[in-house]
Amino acid sequence: MTKKCYGAVELGGTKFTTLIAKDTRTILKKKVFPTLNPKDSLQDIVAFFKDEIPDCETKLEAIGVGSFGPLDLNPDSKTFGFITSTPKQGWEFFNIKGEIEKALDVNVFLETDVNAAAVGEFYLYPVNRIRNLAYITIGTGIGAGIITNGKLIHGLVHPEFGHISIPHDIRKDPFRGVCPYHRDCFEGLASGPAMTARWNLSPDDLPVNHMGWELEGEYIAHALANLIYTVSPEIIILGGDVMHHRHLFPIIHKKARALLNKYIKSRSLEENISEYIVPPRLKDDSGILGALSMAVYETESRD
């Protein structure tokens, strides 16, 4: 039996997860660490992967990393593979890809956290059934990983879907928004911190029947309608802390259907909308399993 093994890291602002696996389904070892400064966290990562496992060769095939950003993912850039202008102290311009590669002599495939989560959900589907997918996280911030024709969109920089503008009726919702750049963009109106600032209650403390949930569902529905009109995904996955409140889903389904107003003729958007806008099937593991998928499939495609 092959002793090939793969690694994965999901690097978040407060904690990070590492794992070693034989393939995308056979996890051998998994651990969660607090995110410290880059030096100490790198040491934790290296120690985790250097620890020998009987079923694995000493050297991993590759490590997939999904990381908080912003990241430089342009292969032609001098800072390719770096975390760039993050407000997270100590991590500015840290060469996350290069440092792990150097310490472990292994190929590292790096993506943003939300892109890794999109990849994780994407590989759940049999190839050729779903080729166009969007994963949106709604939590402290809002971001999207978008796959079209089976590939992640990168483009000029990378998508910053949280910052699209959506209709904001100031008479109905006089809250001005929390985005330091745009004030009342999607993230400024609908992120967790926006909800907390608007109602003086965090989403976790907001009663299920509070009108704040209707408003939240409306903003999300507006953003999804724009996404559907722009890239026409075949499925939309909504993750992140705010979406742990599952009663939001039926509100979003109802409002998205009303907004699209049957303009786009597709059963997915009419009777089947609850199978079209869905929670992550991988629950909170989309990111780490996506990072693992990147390591496995990118390695295979280069063999």
Name which position in 97, 222, 253, 257 contacts its own copies (CB under 8 A).
Answer: 222
Which residue stretch of 19-27, 47-55, 261-269, 284-292 sits at the interface with its own copies (rule: CB under 8 A)?
A: 261-269
Q: How far is the CB of 238 from its own copies (least distance, A)?
A: 16
DSSP code string of 61-95: SEEEEEE-S-B---TTSTTTT-B-S-SSTT-TTB-
Q: Choose between 106 and 130: whose C-beta lies nearer to its own copies.
A: 130
| Sheet hosting strand 277-278, strand order edge to edge | 151-152, 142-148, 133-138, 235-239, 277-278
Q: Choose between 16 and 219: whose C-beta lies nearer to its own copies.
A: 219
User: By C-alpha distance, which of 124, 98, 119 is closest to 42?
Assistant: 98
Q: Is 181 in the site for its own copies (CB under 8 A)?
A: yes
3-state helix, strand, coil in the chain (%, to 5): 35, 20, 45
Query: In degrees, to the nearest 5, what angle opens at C-alpha 204 toward C-alphas 201 and 205?
Result: 45
CB 148 within 8 Å of CB 129 = no
Q: Is 36 in the site for its own copies (CB under 8 A)?
A: no
Main-chain dihedrals φ then ψ at residue 212, nearest 5 degrees? -60, -30
Q: Is 165 in the site for its own copies (CB under 8 A)?
A: yes
Q: Is 31 in the site for its own copies (CB under 8 A)?
A: no
What is residue 207's three-state secondary structure?
A: coil
Q: Is 93 in the site for its own copies (CB under 8 A)?
A: no
Q: Is 157 in the site for its own copies (CB under 8 A)?
A: yes
Residues 111-150 that bind its own copies (CB under 8 A): 132, 144, 146, 148-149
Q: Choose between 19 and 116: whose C-beta lies nearer to its own copies.
A: 116
Q: Choose between 26 and 79: whose C-beta lies nearer to its own copies.
A: 79
Q: Is 278 in the site for its own copies (CB under 8 A)?
A: no
What is residue 157's three-state secondary structure?
A: coil
Which residue stretch of 15-23, 44-52, 202-210, 258-266 sits at the interface with its own copies (rule: CB under 8 A)?
A: 258-266
Q: How far is the CB of 269 from its own copies (least distance, A)?
A: 8
Helices 192-199 and 211-231 pack at an angle, to 10 degrees, of: 150
Q: Is 227 in the site for its own copies (CB under 8 A)?
A: yes
Q: How far is the CB of 169 from its own copies (least distance, A)?
A: 9
Q: Classify burial at 192, counting beta carbons within 10 Å of its beta carbon; exposed 0-12, middle 13-18, buried 19 or more.
A: buried
